[in-house]
Structure 1
């Protein structure tokens, strides 16, 4: 029986492959829950009066870590279910703020693929652009992931 939602195997990807996720709107609840759970209780995120008087960012900003976490959820649900083995490294650049009410999606480009030391596994690096509803890239990050290979998965069945 075919398993629905299974991610890509590293052996099925090619450098230059491009993908786009569905979108996700950032809500006030997302921001409040995230900053509360993380202990990021700074005035910029929780005090509307402080924000109105002192913020350099108009609107209610979301922490970049929240946008990254939501982006990773969108990416992994679409590309790594059952095939992603480890998140190894990344570089991240915040280009613009993500605000309450913004709808973000992720545009993914495979930039590097190589076999891992252990047979049947591979290393895949992508360039992931988090893009808002206006088509503006707000965050770029470059995860390196350890991924299963199709032949290794088939042999294990």
Structure 2
């Protein structure tokens, strides 16, 4: 993990995270079997709503790193909620793999020519999202510090 943290700096991890999240939010509205965008399905809005927590967490880590601050309780709670959202990301990755591998089940039907390329792109983006999310947790531990609230009063400056 230390090698990955050195290869992918915090700024690179942040940039890849933002690009991946935005791309997956857009692709979440795309129907891979029909080659159309569906903006009126409520299921398509679940992932973008969950990514709001991820964006807030990225901002919190960025702020703590740039201001050289210690972790706090709201940031810890945000990270714990992102652990649960990480499970949703894992589910979406497996679901996307199952959709792409179902290509041969529909040989008698006419599937759009974009089925395989966009399916593989979606799976790749979900794998990248899982990877950069774990990298973000590592950067938080390395740059901001652990959640050690036993010494919380020692780290607090009452004049700020």
| TM-score computed with the length of structure 1 as normaliser | 0.24
Bigger radius of gyration: 2
Higher relative contact order by CA 8 Å / sep ≥ 6: 1 or 2? 2
Give the number of the structure whose residues are more often helix, by fraction: 2
